[in-house]
Amino acid sequence: MLDFSSLLLAAALSGTCLAATMVAIWLTAPRAGFVLTVACGIIVLVAHVILFWRYTREPDPLLCQIALALLSLGFLIICISAMQYLGVREHRRAIAPTFAAMAVCAAVTFMGLDGVGFVITYATVTALLSTIGAMFWINGSHDRRILLVVSFLSGTCALSFALCGVVLMAKGQWTLGVAPDNWAERLNSVVAVACMTGLGALTLSLHHLQAQIELKAETMTDPLTGLMNRRGLASLYGERTFGPFMAIVMFDLDHFKRTNDIYGHPVGDQVLCRFAAVIRRYARTGVDAFRLGGEEFAIVMSRVTEERAYDLASKIGVAFGTEVVPTALGPLRSTVSGGIGFGEADGSTLDEVLARADATLYAAKRAGRNCVIGRKKTGRADVVEPALRSA
């Protein structure tokens, strides 16, 4: 059976291999910053294990303080890497309490209460690991299976550190003078090696998952305006049923070919970006915006009445008409035409609603452009009428 020193050395070896793997991954994908942060945290933990192993052979108060500080710091860095992956930006909520606990630990250890220092450190690590598990449990929105396994491993590792602290308190070992060596410490060494190895493997999975998500986002995003493209529209709404309180507004910039011919394509790109910015300005919950291609845009509105759809589309048209793009030939104002298609009480497909919006868009162009046209329900048949002139 492995003795305690062998377990520590196994943990150091495992951590070193994991850190090297993480660095290699980061070198091939520098955008995955959380992977490098994980590697840094593991390297700090390896340093802790090596110093702690030496402390078990040559007890020294200063060595004890450094080893305990590295243990807290290593898991703090790993906690920050989890925040990076999940997009949690409030790092200070983890950093400030951890450094405060490290300062208290150093103080009590310096006074000879090294057992208290171990308890404080174990409590800090337990809190950090529990925080990691909770963040993945609450904030994870991608592959729940992977995220739940991360939560489980973090919680298991946290429990093993908590047991180490509980055993010290139960025995009243406030002053040790040597490294603690009990069943909880041995169990913790085994659990920590297993969990860190598992978390390292899951980091590879999370990196792969993030790369897939980023690639999918890129394929569904228009690179010029940053809006979702036609593929994004099909992905979000291709399988949806459009009821009477859902609508699609199709916009087409008026005389855009002439704009490109006279002012040049760079100015045309500016006009497209200005219109995209106007759409974003009026975006709200239940409104998604898309660039379908060229000068054609669309917005999908949910939980909206016909009057509200007319109002929002018309405001977008009016706001765009006030936009001025400076050019070498003088200031440029552009206008847009819009057509609205609605879902039906018995349900409509995306293609059906797009076709209705496209028909009313062409009606707006035939009506002289620079307006929004929608369908108004009557007792007889659907008729087309302008909602509001943009000029």
Q: Which of 281, 247, 278 is nearest to 361 (CA)?
A: 247
Do 266 and 125 lie in a common domain? no
CB 263 within 8 A of CB 324: no
Structure tokens, 272: 């497209």
CB 313 within 8 A of CB 374: yes
Can you spell out the DSSP letters for 147-164? Answer: HHHHHHHHHHHHHHHHHH
Cβ neighbour number for residue 340 with a 10 Å cutoff: 29
Do 327 and 277 lie in a common domain? yes
Dihedral of CA atoms 39, 45, 49, 50 in degrees, nearest 10, equals 60
CB 94 within 8 A of CB 79: yes
pLDDT range class, residue 381, cuts 50, 70, 90: very low
pLDDT at 390 over 80: no
Mean pLDDT of 274-292: 87
More confident residue, 27 or 338: 338
pLDDT range class, residue 101, cuts 50, 70, 90: very high
Do 108 and 249 lie in a common domain? no
Do 342 and 202 lie in a common domain? no
Residue 354 lies in a domain: yes
pLDDT digits (tens, 9 = 90+) for 340-355: 999 998 989 999 999 9
pLDDT of amino acid 142: 55
Mean residue pLDDT across the chain: 85
pLDDT of amino acid 375: 63
Can you spell out the DSSP letters for 57-84? Answer: HS--HHHHHHHHHHHHHHHHHHHHHHHH
pLDDT at 388 over 90: no
Do 239 and 196 lie in a common domain? no
| Residue 85: domain span | 4-218
pLDDT at 120 over 80: yes
Q: What CA–CA distance (Å, rounded) separates 45 from 98?
A: 15
pLDDT at 382 over 70: no
Do 195 and 329 lie in a common domain? no
pLDDT range class, residue 136, cuts 50, 70, 90: confident
Do 240 and 129 lie in a common domain? no
Do 10 and 95 lie in a common domain? yes
Domain count, the chain: 2
pLDDT at 376 over 70: no
Residue 385 lies in a domain: no
pLDDT of amino acid 162: 95
Mean pLDDT of 302-329: 91
Handedness of CA 173, 174, 175, 179 (dihedral sign): positive
pLDDT of amino acid 13: 77
pLDDT at 146 over 70: no
- Residue 283 CB contacts under 8 Å (≥ 6 apart), including other chains: 289
